[in-house]
């Protein structure tokens, strides 16, 4: 039987001085294969054109449409209404600056993250157009790709206890970025170099181990594994620094 | 109003825009990229397949060369491509793939030894050479003589875009995201930058630039059903068109893919049909063999799309809340095959449609997929008509793809063209000086401010922007879809002219304050209808069938009269684009001939 869905949606327009944060309620009849992408667009086009939310690829690859769906951060594009109760509560992701209603500014946060982690290959090698490419083992290429799959949706950041408490925390998305470059033989940075980026409470040692990041990652990235791996590696780096025979 | 100065302003920060930006920033110039979304969310990220480049490392690519890539590309274009551009592209592509590897793209690599590969649903063994171990691998794509497509697992677009954006950050390229250009600042001869609306606050800013690049992607979203990201609304193209002097090339050349899913138009791979999937109608009857007895579902993309539409027109489509569609059936391929070889399709079905393709049919329909048309440029990437204006990537008609693009050539074009056009822009900027007139900036800003004010206040009327858009969708769906004919196109042009008039009277239902999506669409809408008119009018005038452009009333490819490119411009106050034509290519390396697939009669060029 067709359900009537009730949507409780957070509303606030920071550009409008008269706007007060509140929740609005909407109703919509459910259709086959309905996703939150379809539902939110119908609400905006049929009921309330002032509704603000972000979508881009609507296919789970760009990360635009992350929001808190019935208490849990997730991508709205591949959330099917039939997997939710008839009452659906939508909130913007915490941590990020609010653009309006369900839209948040992830771009600024992630740009700062990749400047901070220097998210590019550090190499002294020059590119030679006439030369054959440097060889790489396919297994290594696949391993890098597996860590490179983060879509910067911000779900892990929003679900992170530390990131919610301290704005300077690099958060899981930052750590997996560092792990991606640490795994890449083309990047000449040493463990000591990476320690400079993540060896602090704003970095890897600030994690409280609540494990929510990996639970909510829509790409199922091994966020906790990589964090554990980096922590051990950074621990060893400190040890080496302290010991007289260390490097 | 804030005024920002830069050497190069890039409208769009996907692969083409950032590749250009990197080249120009690397030459020591300042660059600002505008992007509707954070740069890494650009539609480039969605490309899964890969990039064609004749590296010839894989055993199935043995003997490949830029010459073979050139032949495939020009044939694929149905001889609509500029052959000089195709030549430059195929020569540069291998170098660009290696450069991307150097910058950090985790391309899949050749592993020496014997491997089992798949072709046409059947496994076969092939042995990769020991001397190629560790070099960039490639996979098969339709319409290519060799395996030539470099790939990074199932996310080539993602891997390359992230690497590109990293490189741009390293070089200090500035990206202003959530920013949308609403008009170009120009004096009819020279482009001076753009008036830009902040999509966070709604404020207007002026960007003054010595060079301006349009790299805003395709215009797929003028159609209701498109595999494109929802930001691909062709705004960069309409900015160029609205100057009255720049021209758009081959706007009627629009590629459709047979198996976009319903409702959200996500693509499921051709591999479903390649491996033995069938198309069924509302009675679950397999209709393709009736139309194409030999190839059935395995006919080329454009042929299958045509047959599906034909069949739906006989009343055999499935009705749904999201419109009419047909079914794709892969149930008989079995659990083992679907869950492993077609894993991506399985995931799309489960995650987005909520169906299990093991037991359920997949709703599909032909869906807009790629825009061959775009801002017409010369081979250096310079736009016709305005000095200092350039274009690259899907937004450009450079023209690599002619009337049909090959898989794997679009993603490659973004990077290869981006590199070539970027170097040309850097050269252009050397020693180039221009004078910015504050009057031009003020005029443009005042005009845009006034237009936006009238939309917000409803001064010109209360037309709903969504109703206008639906009307445009309906017309394009009937007149300028997979099949075109004179009667429907004539009606379509006239109906779109009426919609264009309605688009001048849009008024908001909301307040339009801040990051208001209704207002953003209302600002774009008249330009989108003008693009639709360029498609429809161009298609009406082109009385032949070439590549993706299929006229039921003119089924032949007519090289005698139509071996040319349509150029559309929009004169101030007009209600129809002005069309003129130029030869498809001035440099002929490969004279027009049979493509070797797709069938169809050819009226030869007069010798």
Cα–Cα distance, B105 to B100 (Å, whole number): 6
Q: Is the confidence at residue A242, as pLDDT, over 90?
A: no
CB contact under 8 Å between A61 and B135, yes or no, is no
Looking at CA atoms only, how far is residue A84 from chain B in angstroms? 13
Q: Do B264 and A59 touch (CB under 8 A)?
A: yes
DSSP state of A84: S
Bigger pLDDT: A29 vs B144 = A29
Asked if residues B77 and B302 have their Cβ atoms less than 8 Å apart, the reply is no
Q: CB under 8 Å to B31, separation ≥6 — which residues?
A: B6, B7, B8, B9, B10, B21, B24, B25, B173, B174
Give per-residue pLDDT as tens, B414-429: 999 999 999 999 999 9
Inter-chain residue contact A59 with B514, CB threshold 8 Å: no
Note whether A62 contacts B353, CB cutoff 8 Å. no
Q: What is the pLDDT of residues B431-468, one digit of tens each?
A: 899 999 999 999 999 999 999 999 999 999 999 999 99
Query: Does residue B97 surpass a pLDDT of 70?
Result: yes
Among the partner-chain residues A48, A56, A114, the one whose CB lies closest to the CB of B37 is: A56
Residue B40 a catalytic site member = no
B14-66 per-position pLDDT tens digit: 999 999 999 999 999 999 999 999 999 999 999 888 999 999 999 999 999 99
DSSP code of residue B516: -
Query: Comparing B293 with A162, which gets the higher pLDDT?
Result: A162
From chain B, pick out residues whose CB is under 8 angstroms from the CB of A148.
106, 158-159, 162
Q: Provide the angle, in degrees to the nearest 10, between the axes of the packed helices A138-148 and B156-170.
A: 80
Per-residue CA distances from A200 to A192, B339, B357 (Å): 13, 43, 48
pLDDT at residue number A247: 46
* From B192, B257, B306, B542, active-site residue: B257
Q: How many CA within 13 A on the CB side of residue B194?
A: 28
- Minimum CA–CA partner of A13 in chain B: B514
B231 → closest Cβ in A56, A61, A105: A56
Confidence of residue B554 (pLDDT cuts 50, 70, 90): very high
- The pLDDT > 70 percentage for chain B reads 99
- Interface probe with A: pick from B109, B111, B156, B167, most Cβ of A within 10 Å: B109
> What is the rounded CA–CA span in Å between residue B34 and residue B352?
30
pLDDT value for B607: 63
Nearest-CA distance A8 → chain B (Å): 19
Q: Taking residues A137-157, report their average pLDDT.
A: 96
* Record: contact B201-A15, CB cut-off 8 A: yes
Q: Alpha-carbon distance A74 to B496, whole Å? A: 40
Spot the catalytic one: B69, B210, B273, B551. Answer: B273
CA angle, A227 then A232 then A238, to 5°:
120
Q: What's the CA gap between B513 and B469, in Å, rounded?
A: 21
Tell me: pLDDT of B87 over 70.
yes
User: Tens digit of pLDDT for each residue in A176-197?
Assistant: 999 999 999 999 999 999 999 9
Pairing type for strands B389-391 and B204-214 reads parallel
Collapsing DSSP to helix, strand or coil, B588 comes out as coil
CA distances from B562 to B17, B303, B581 (A): 32, 21, 9
Phi and psi at B211, nearest 5°, equal -130, 145
Does the pLDDT value for residue B302 go beyond 90? no
pTM for the whole structure: 0.96
CB B351 within 8 A of CB B366: no
At B344 the pLDDT is 81
The answer to whether B443 and B186 have CB atoms below 8 angstroms apart is no
Q: Which residue of B has its CA nearest to A143?
A: B106
In chain A, which residues have their Cβ closer than 8 Å to the Cβ of B38? Answer: 106-107, 110-111, 152
Q: Do B98 and A49 touch (CB under 8 A)?
A: no
What is the DSSP pairing of strand B254-261 with strand A66-69?
unpaired
Q: How far is B590 from chain A (nearest CA, A)?
A: 27
pLDDT in tens, B308-362: 999 998 999 999 999 999 999 999 988 988 887 788 889 899 999 999 999 999 9
The string of pLDDT tens digits covering residues A16-27 is 999 999 999 999
From B295's Cα to the closest Cα of chain A, the distance in A is 31
Query: B493: distance to nearest CA of chain A, Å?
Result: 26
Q: Is residue B113 pLDDT above 90, yes or no? A: yes
CB atoms near residue B446 (< 10 Å): 12
**Inter-chain CB proximity B106 and A16 less than 8 Å:** no
pLDDT for res B369: 96
Q: Is the pLDDT of residue B518 over 60?
A: yes
Q: Looking at B341-411, which runs of residues are DSSP E strands?
A: 362-371, 374-376, 389-391, 396-397
The span from the CA of B156 to the CA of B158, in Å, is 5
**For chain B, how many residues are written?**
607
Handedness of CA B227, B231, B232, B233 (dihedral sign): positive
End-to-end CA distance of chain A: 68
- Cα–Cα distance measured from residue A214 to residue A156, given in angstroms and rounded to the nearest whole number: 7
Chain B partners within 8 Å of A186 (Cβ)? 102, 104
pLDDT at residue B533 above 60?
yes
Known catalytic residue at B273: yes
- Cα B57 from Cα B550, distance rounded (Å): 37
Task: Write out the two tokens for B84.
Answer: 């000089």
Q: Which residues contact B340 (CB under 8 A, 6 or more apart)?
A: none
Q: What is residue A45's DSSP assignment? A: I
Cα(first)–Cα(last) distance of chain B, in Å? 59
Q: Choose, out of A30, A120, A124, the residue to mutate when testing the contact with B (most B CBs < 10 Å).
A: A120
Torsion of CA B389, B393, B397, B401, to 10 degrees: 160
| B420: nearest Cα among B447, B398, B397, B440 | B398
Among A103, A107, A119, select the one facing B38 at the smallest CB separation: A107
Q: In whole angstroms, how far apart are CA A1 and each of A29, A33, A82, A179, B535?
A: 11, 14, 12, 48, 43
pLDDT of residue B303: 81
CA closest to A34 among chain B residues: B353
Mean pLDDT of chain B: 94
DSSP SS3 for B176:
strand
Nearest to B239 by CA among B444, B2, B401, B469: B444
Report chain B residues whose CB lies below 8 A from the CB of A98. Answer: none
User: Which tens digit of pLDDT belongs to each residue from A210-234?
Assistant: 889 999 999 999 998 888 888 888 8
**Neighbouring-strand partners of residue B365:** B260
Give the pLDDT confidence score for residue B598 in this predicted structure. Answer: 66
Residue B543: strand, helix, or coil: coil
């Amino acid at each position: 039987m067709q359900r009537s869905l009730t949507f409780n949606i957070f509303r606030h327009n920071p550009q409008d001085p008269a706007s007060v944060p509140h929740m609005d309620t909407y109703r919509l009849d459910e259709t086959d294969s309905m996703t939150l992408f379809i539902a939110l667009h119908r609400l905006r086009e049929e009921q309330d054109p002032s509704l603000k939310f972000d979508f881009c690829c609507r296919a789970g690859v760009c990360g635009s449409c992350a929001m808190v769906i019935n208490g849990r951060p997730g991508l709205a594009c591949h959330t099917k209404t039939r997997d939710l109760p008839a009452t659906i509560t939508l909130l913007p992701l915490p941590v990020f600056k609010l653009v309006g209603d369900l839209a948040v500014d992830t771009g600024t946060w992630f740009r700062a993250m990749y400047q901070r982690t220097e998210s590019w290959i550090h190499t002294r090698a020059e590119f030679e157009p006439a030369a054959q490419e440097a060889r790489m083992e396919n297994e290594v290429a696949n391993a890098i790709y597996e860590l490179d799959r983060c879509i910067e949706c911000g779900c892990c950041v929003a679900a992170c206890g530390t990131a919610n408490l301290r704005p300077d925390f690099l958060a899981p998305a930052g750590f997996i970025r560092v792990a991606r470059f640490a795994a890449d033989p083309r990047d000449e940075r040493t463990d000591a170099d990476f320690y400079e980026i993540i060896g602090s409470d704003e970095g890897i040692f600030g994690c409280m181990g609540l494990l929510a990041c990996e639970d909510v990652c829509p790409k199922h990235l091994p966020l906790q594994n990589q964090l554990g791996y980096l922590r051990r590696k950074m621990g060893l780096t400190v040890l080496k620094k302290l010991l007289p025979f260390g490097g | 109003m804030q005024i920002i100065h830069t050497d190069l302003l890039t409208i769009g920060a996907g692969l083409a825009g950032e590749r250009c930006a990197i080249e120009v920033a690397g030459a020591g110039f300042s660059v600002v990229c505008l992007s509707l979304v954070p740069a890494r969310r650009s539609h480039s990220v969605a490309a899964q397949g890969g990039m064609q480049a004749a590296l010839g490392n894989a055993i199935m690519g043995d003997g490949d060369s830029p010459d073979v890539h050139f032949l495939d590309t020009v044939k694929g274009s149905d001889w609509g491509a500029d052959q000089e551009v195709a030549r430059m592209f195929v020569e540069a592509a291998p170098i660009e793939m290696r450069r991307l590897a150097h910058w950090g793209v985790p391309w899949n690599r050749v592993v020496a030894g014997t491997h089992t590969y798949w072709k046409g649903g059947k496994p076969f063994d092939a042995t990769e050479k020991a001397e190629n171990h560790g070099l960039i691998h490639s996979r098969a794509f339709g319409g290519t003589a060799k395996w030539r497509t470099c790939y990074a697992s199932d996310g080539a677009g993602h891997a390359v875009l992230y690497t590109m954006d990293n490189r741009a950050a390293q070089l200090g390229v500035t990206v202003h995201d959530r920013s949308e250009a609403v008009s170009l600042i120009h004096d009819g001869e020279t482009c001076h930058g753009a008036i830009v609306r902040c999509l966070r606050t709604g404020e207007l800013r002026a960007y003054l630039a010595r060079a301006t690049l349009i790299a805003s992607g395709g215009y797929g979203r003028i159609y209701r059903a498109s595999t494109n990201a929802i930001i691909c609304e062709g705004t960069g193209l309409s900015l160029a068109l609205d100057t009255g002097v720049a021209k758009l090339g081959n706007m009627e050349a629009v590629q459709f893919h047979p198996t976009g899913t319903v409702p959200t138009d996500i693509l499921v791979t051709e591999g479903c049909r390649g491996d033995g999937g069938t198309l069924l109608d509302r009675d679950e009857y397999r209709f393709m063999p009736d139309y194409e007895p030999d190839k059935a579902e395995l006919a080329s993309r454009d042929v299958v799309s045509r047959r599906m539409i034909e069949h739906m027109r006989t009343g055999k489509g499935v009705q749904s809340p999201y419109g009419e569609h047909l079914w794709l059936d892969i149930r008989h391929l079995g659990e083992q095959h679907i869950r492993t070889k077609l894993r991506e399709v399985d995931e799309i079905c489960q995650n987005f449609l909520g169906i299990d393709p093991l037991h359920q049919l997949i709703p599909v329909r032909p869906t807009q997929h790629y825009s061959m048309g775009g801002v017409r440029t010369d081979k250096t990437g310079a736009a016709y008509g305005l000095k200092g204006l350039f274009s690259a990537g899907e937004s450009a008609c450079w023209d690599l793809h002619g009337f049909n693009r090959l898989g794997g050539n679009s993603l490659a074009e973004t990077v290869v063209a981006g590199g070539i056009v970027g170097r040309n822009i850097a050269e252009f900027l050397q020693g180039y000086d221009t004078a910015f007139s504050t009057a031009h900036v003020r005029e443009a800003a005042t005009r845009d401010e006034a237009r936006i004010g009238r939309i917000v206040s409803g001064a010109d009327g209360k037309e709903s922007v969504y109703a206008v858009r639906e009307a445009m969708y309906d017309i394009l769906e009937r007149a300028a879809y997979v099949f075109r004919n004179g009667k429907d196109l004539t009606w379509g042009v006239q109906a779109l002219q009426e919609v264009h008039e309605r688009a001048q009277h849009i008024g908001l239902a909301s307040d339009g304050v801040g990051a208001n999506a209704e207002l953003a669409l209302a600002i774009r809408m008249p330009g989108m209808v003008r693009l639709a008119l360029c498609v429809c009018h161009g298609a009406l005038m082109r009385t032949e069938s070439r590549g993706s452009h299929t006229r039921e009333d003119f089924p032949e490819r007519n090289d005698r009269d139509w071996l040319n490119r349509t150029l559309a411009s929009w004169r101030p106050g007009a209600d129809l684009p002005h069309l003129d034509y130029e030869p498809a290519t001035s440099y002929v390396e490969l004279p027009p001939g049979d493509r070797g697939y797709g069938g169809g009669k050819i009226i030869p060029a007069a010798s």
